[in-house]
A and B are shown apart, each in its own frame.
Chain A
Amino acid sequence: DQQVKQNSPSLSVQEGRISILNCDYTNSMFDYFLWYKKYPAEGPTFLISISSIKDKNEDGRFTVFLNKSAKHLSLHIVPSQPGDSAVYFCAAKSQGAQKLVFGQGTRLTINP
């Protein structure tokens, strides 16, 4: 049972435009959500997180939106840069648990 889903395996965006990556979850016990960026043969790099008590969190070019009623979150990258090309993973944690549950990832390609 896939509790965290990233339905788009890949996304291609023009440099300078907005990249929007989406993530859906099914477990209503999740209360903390994170986005990681990953290059091949490297560990995931933390980007941004959001607690379930918020609906938006910003950090520079990265903004995460959380819609609890829809069990949906999205990561916006503005403006997109070539260095943003990587695989992006959405992850979720439930209260009291240390375990991260990951989506399958979305490969983002930024075209010059």
Chain B
Amino acid sequence: KAGVTQTPRYLIKTRGQQVTLSCSPISGHRSVSWYQQTPGQGLQFLFEYFSETQRNKGNFPGRFSGRQFSNSRSEMNVSTLELGDSALYLCASSQTGKARETQYFGPGTRLLVL
């Protein structure tokens, strides 16, 4: 089975721009979660989608948004980019989103905001 895929792998943007990142989960997985990794804050939860609905949201400003499509693929969008948004953005998928279920991560998208 193919793993979680994320595109693009690298992005360079300037302050004020917006960006859209894409994630394709493992086949059959319906829950998709997004995380941000920075040197200062570590790995932090952004949001989780299941069956096209956002079920959980982390403590991030409204500039961070996402959506999930009927085929479980997910996108996240960051508007009005700030320098502090430079990070590795990771997508993870699991089958149903149940609590005692392992999440499998993609390779990440590295975003650099100049």
Contacts and interface: CB of A to CB of B under 8 A. Distances in A.
Interface of A: 31-32, 34, 36, 41-46, 49, 51, 89, 91, 93-105
A31 B42 CA distance: 22
A95 B97 CA distance: 11
Contact of A102 (B31, B42, B94, B110): B42
Contact of B99 (A43, A45, A96, A105): A96
Q: Secondary structure at chain B's binding surface: helix, strand, loop or mixed?
A: strand
A6 to B, nearest CB: 10
Nearest to B32: A98
- The size class of the interface chain B forms with chain A is 20 to 34
Contact of B48 (A32, A34, A99, A102): A99
A94 B110 CA distance: 29
Contacts of B104: 46
A88 B43 CA distance: 12
Contact of A42 (B42, B48, B102, B108): B108
Contact of A100 (B4, B33, B100, B110): B33
Given A43-B105, A44-B105, A105-B42, A98 B88 contact: no
